[in-house]
Amino acid sequence: MYNLAVFGNPIAHSLSPTIHAEFAQQTGIEVNYDKILAPIDGFNHKAQQFIDEGATGFNITVPFKLDAYNFATKLTLNAKTAGAVNTIKVEGSELVGENTDGIGLVNDLVNNLGVNLKDKTILILGAGGATQGILLPLLKENPKRVMIANRTASKAQQLQQDFAQYGNTCGFGLEKIKNEPVDVIINATSASLDGKMPNIANGCADGAICYDLMYGKQTPFMDWAKANNASMIVDGLGMLVEQAASSFEFWTGKKPNTQKVMENLRR
């Protein structure tokens, strides 16, 4: 029996138990997957309690990904570069920290949506935790260039420096986005959560694949993409399911089928 859970605050809304229950059914692996609400300053205590009760592993969501990064005793390269952990596997006395968010995004783009990222120009809006988590997996696909545009330009410039060793990156302020088409635009700002759209040049969306990391509703970014002739407009539900599938594989070694789960959630 795999004893799993997701930690967050809030956590009631989490779709992870539903997703992992479907993966368990598909693969025939026995899984118990709970939602655990941890106090804002009490992640370590709750996580340790779960480990003492025989946890096999767990997911970590907002706002504990940095706590989990510090709590892990060993980190994968993905987790190190992301500076955050969303998956922990208990391996004897080691707590192995991984970050599957970026792998989830790339798997959704490449495998589910058929988008080849090689030699493409990618524009990421935002330079927060989500951007830091997706940069390495995106750069591993050998795009021509990954541009990071952020409201606070210095954060984008910092990410450019941190990731320069992994590929062609550049970081600048949102106002510097040119009024000319790019291949892929990823909205990794939290503006959608507030019902807002970063104020950027419209021409960059012409013919582009526009992906909002947020899921669950039509966002102003998706409306903007439609109004400006994007070729494909997608929300982050596929990324959510794919990051869960990567976590499931990290714990069990079995790769679940994500298509049916996505269809069920969309319904």
Residues taking part in catalysis: 65
Q: Which listed residue (16, 100, 189, 258) binds ligand NDP by CB under 6 A?
A: 189
Category of 131 on φ-ψ map: left (φ > 0), alpha (ψ -120 to 50) or beta: alpha
Of the residues 152, 179, 218, 264, which one makes contact with ligand NDP according to CB under 6 A: 152
For position 218 contacting ligand NDP by CB under 6 A, the verdict is: no
**Span from 48-56, 160-168, 207-215, 247-255 in contact with ligand NDP (CB under 6 A):** 207-215
d(CA 164, CA 116): 22
Binding mask 226-255 for ligand NDP (x = CB under 6 A): ----------x--xx--x------------
User: Rounded to the nearest whole angstrom, what is the least distance from the CB of residue 264 to ligand NDP in the complex?
Assistant: 17
d(CA 223, CA 202): 12
Q: Which helix (H) or strand (E) holds 98?
A: strand 94-98
Contact 130, 99 (CB under 8 A): no
The residue number with the shortest CB distance to ligand NDP is 128
Return d(Cα 89, Cα 67) in angstroms, integer. 15
Told to check if 155 binds ligand NDP by CB under 6 A, we report yes
Told to check if 262 binds ligand NDP by CB under 6 A, we report: no
193 touches ligand NDP (CB under 6 A): yes
Structure tokens at 220: 């102003």
Question: Any idea which residue has 């419209």 for tokens?
Answer: 202
Structure tokens at 165: 């060793």
Contact stretch for ligand NDP (CB under 6 A) within 18-26, 193-201, 202-210, 226-234: 193-201
Distance CA 205, CA 202 (A): 6
Choose, by CB under 6 A, the member of 67, 98, 101, 183 that binds ligand NDP.
Answer: 101
Q: Is 127 in the site for ligand NDP (CB under 6 A)?
A: yes
Q: Which stretch binds ligand NDP (CB under 6 A): 5-13, 114-122, 144-152, 162-170?
A: 144-152
Q: Residue 76 has which token pair?
A: 């994968």
Q: In what order do the strands lie in the sheet with 57-60?
A: 31-37, 2-8, 57-60, 87-91, 94-98, 74-75
Residues engaged in binding ligand NDP (CB under 6 A): 101, 126-131, 150-152, 155, 188-193, 196, 198, 213-215, 236, 239-240, 243
